[in-house]
Amino acid sequence: MKPFPFFFFFFFFFFLSILPFSSSSCSPHSCQLQDPCSSADDCAAGLNCGNCPASGMAGPSCIRAQAVEPTSIVKGLPFNRYTWLVTHNSFSILGEPSYTGVQRVTFYNQDDTVANQLRNGVRGLMLDMYDFDGDVWLCHSFQGQCYNFTAFEPAINTLKEVESFLSANPTEIVTIIIEDYVHAPMGLSKLFTSADLVKYWYPVSEMPTNGKDWPSVTDMVAKNRRLLVFTSDASKEASEGIAYQWKYLLENEPGDPGIVPGTCPNRKESQALNSRYASLFLQNYFPTIPVENEACKENSVGLAQMVDACYKAAGMYLQRSDGRGVFDIQDRINGLALCGCSIISSCQAGAPMGVCKNTGASNRTPAVNGNIYSGYIQLSGSILKSYSGFRAIKLFIMLQLLQLLL
C-alpha cells in the first residue's frame, strides 16, 4: 500500500513583542540562525530577531522567518504530497486601521500583512467572510453576525493582495478557506470576479475525490489553476461552484481534545482520518487555553510528535519560536514525505527514496511541540493580553471572549 498522501495546514499566530536590546557581534545581515542579535538588520536573509525567555534564551537571537518552498527542491509531484503553511484569521492584523470609524473590539491574530505572509512562504489563508454594510467583509462575529466593532475590512482588499501575489509569482499556488457567513445571492462569486481571481480558479468539477491524488503542481501551474477555494457552506458548491471543504479535506480535532499525546482523533465534521475519503489533511495543534508568554517555547518543543500520531492515525503568530520553529517542522515533514530524508534540504533530484545528501542537518527529528496561541483584544485604544479559549472552525481557530466570538 502506498503511503497516504498528506497535505498539512499549520495554524500559527504572529505575536507582538517588545524585544529587549542585546548587543550583536555580527556585521549587518550576517548573523546566522540562533546568533545573538539586536535587530532584524543583524540577521541574514530569511531570519528575524526574536526572543523566547520561556525556553531559557538569554536574549534575542536570529530565528527563522521564512519557509522553504518545497517545490523548489522536489519538483512536479501531486499537489497533495507537499506540506504547506497556512495562517489562521490571516486578515486579523494588529494595527489594521478601522474602516468603519468605530473603535474595534476584537482579537488580533497576525502582525504582518497578507502580502508579507505570502512573501514569507504562507500558502493558505483562513478568511471569515460576512455580509456587512452592503458588501462582503472580513470580520469576527457576534452570534454569526458582523458588527462595526468586530469588522476589519472589505474582503476584496485582501483578495487583491492575493491577486497581486499570484500575478507576480506565476509558479505559486494559494489556498483560501472561507468560514462562510455570506448569504447575498452569488455574493462570493461576484467578490472573486471583482478581485480578478477567477482566472486562477481551480474548477470544483475537476477536484479529485475518494482520496485520489491531485494533479501535479507542474500541471496546475501550466493550466494556471493556481487558486483553490473552499467554503464551509455546503450549498455554495452547487450554486456558485465553490468546493465544500468537508468533501475534500480531512481534519483532526482542535483544542485540548486534539492534543492528547499519542492520539489524533478526527474532527466531528470530518470523516475518519483513515477513511481514504480525501487526500488533503488539515492538522490542528493548539491547547484550548492559550498562554502567550509560553507560545514561543510551545512553537519549538509536541508538534513533531503530533504529526507522527496523525500520520499513524491516517494509515499558528508564525515567527515566534526559539529559533527554527514551525518552518523547521515543515522542512522535516516535506523531507520525510517527499524523499525519505530527515529534512527537505537533504533531498536530491532524481535520487531514490531515502538517498540523501549531507547538509549537516541532524538525521534525528527533534521533539518540537506545537503551538499555544494567543491573541490581542483592543479596547479603548489599548492592547490587552487575553487568555481566552480557542475554538477551531474548519481550518482555523476562532478566538472566544465571553462568547463574543463564535
Q: What is the pLDDT along the chain (406 residues), one digit of tens a residue?
A: 444 444 444 443 333 333 334 455 788 878 887 788 888 888 888 787 877 776 666 788 787 777 888 888 999 999 999 988 888 788 988 888 999 999 998 877 787 899 999 999 999 998 999 999 999 999 988 778 999 999 999 999 999 999 999 999 999 999 999 999 999 999 999 999 999 999 999 999 999 998 899 999 999 999 999 999 999 999 999 999 999 999 998 888 876 787 777 888 888 888 888 888 888 888 777 655 444 455 455 545 566 677 778 777 766 333 444 445 667 778 888 888 888 888 888 998 888 988 998 876 443 333 333 332 233 333 333 322 222 222 222 222 222 222 222 2
Q: pLDDT exceeding 70 applies to what percent of the chain? A: 73
What pLDDT is attached to residue 15? 33
DSSP element (H, E) containing 154: strand 151-154
Domain identity same for 340 and 195: no
How far CA 157 is from CA of 106, 108, 152, 182, 196, in Å, comes to 19, 18, 10, 16, 12
Domain identity same for 317 and 349: yes
Domain identity same for 177 and 142: yes
Instruction: Label residues 187-206 b or e (16+ Cβ within 10 Å = b).
Output: bbebbbeebbbeebbbebee
DSSP element (H, E) containing 328: helix 325-338
End position of a domain, from candidates 247, 266, 290? 247
Domain identity same for 171 and 142: yes
State the Cα–Cα distance between residues 167 and 159, nearest whole angstrom: 12
Q: What cell was used for 211?
A: 482520496
State the Cα–Cα distance between residues 278 and 268, nearest whole angstrom: 15
Residue 326 near residue 11 (C-beta atoms within 8 A): no
What pLDDT is attached to residue 184? 96
Domain identity same for 59 and 99: no
What pLDDT is attached to residue 237? 97
Reported as a single tens digit per residue, the pLDDT across 43-71 is 888 787 877 776 666 788 787 777 888 88
Domain identity same for 58 and 128: no
End position of a domain, from candidates 226, 247, 268? 247
Is 215 part of any domain? yes
Domain identity same for 115 and 218: yes
Q: Which domain holds residue 327?
A: 248-355
Is 385 part of any domain? no
Domain identity same for 134 and 185: yes
State the Cα–Cα distance between residues 354 and 324, nearest whole angstrom: 23
What pLDDT is attached to residue 55? 64
Residue 246 near residue 266 (C-beta atoms within 8 A): no
Is 280 part of any domain? yes
Domain identity same for 328 and 300: yes
Is 286 part of any domain? yes
Q: What cell was used for 341?
A: 530524508
State the Cα–Cα distance between residues 123 and 260, nearest whole angstrom: 28
What pLDDT is attached to residue 403? 22
Per DSSP, 168 falls in state H
Is 403 part of any domain? no
DSSP element (H, E) containing 248: helix 245-248
State the Cα–Cα distance between residues 198 and 91, nearest whole angstrom: 21
End position of a domain, from candidates 355, 380, 400? 355
Residue 26 near residue 10 (C-beta atoms within 8 A): no
Is 103 part of any domain? yes
What pLDDT is attached to residue 328? 77
Burial of 350 (0-12, 13-18, 19+ CB in 10 A): exposed
Is 279 part of any domain? yes
Task: Strand 375-379: give its sheet, edge to edge.
Answer: 107-108, 375-379, 382-386
DSSP element (H, E) containing 20: none
Measured in residues, the chain has a length of 406
Domain identity same for 169 and 82: yes
Domain identity same for 334 and 274: yes
Query: What secondary structure does DSSP assign to 280-305, as a single string?
Result: EEE-----SS--GGGHHHHTT--HHH
Is 178 part of any domain? yes
What pLDDT is attached to residue 223? 98
Q: For the chain, what is the domain count? A: 3
Residue 345 near residue 335 (C-beta atoms within 8 A): yes
Domain identity same for 149 and 117: yes
Helix/strand/coil percentages in the chain, nearest 5: 25, 20, 55
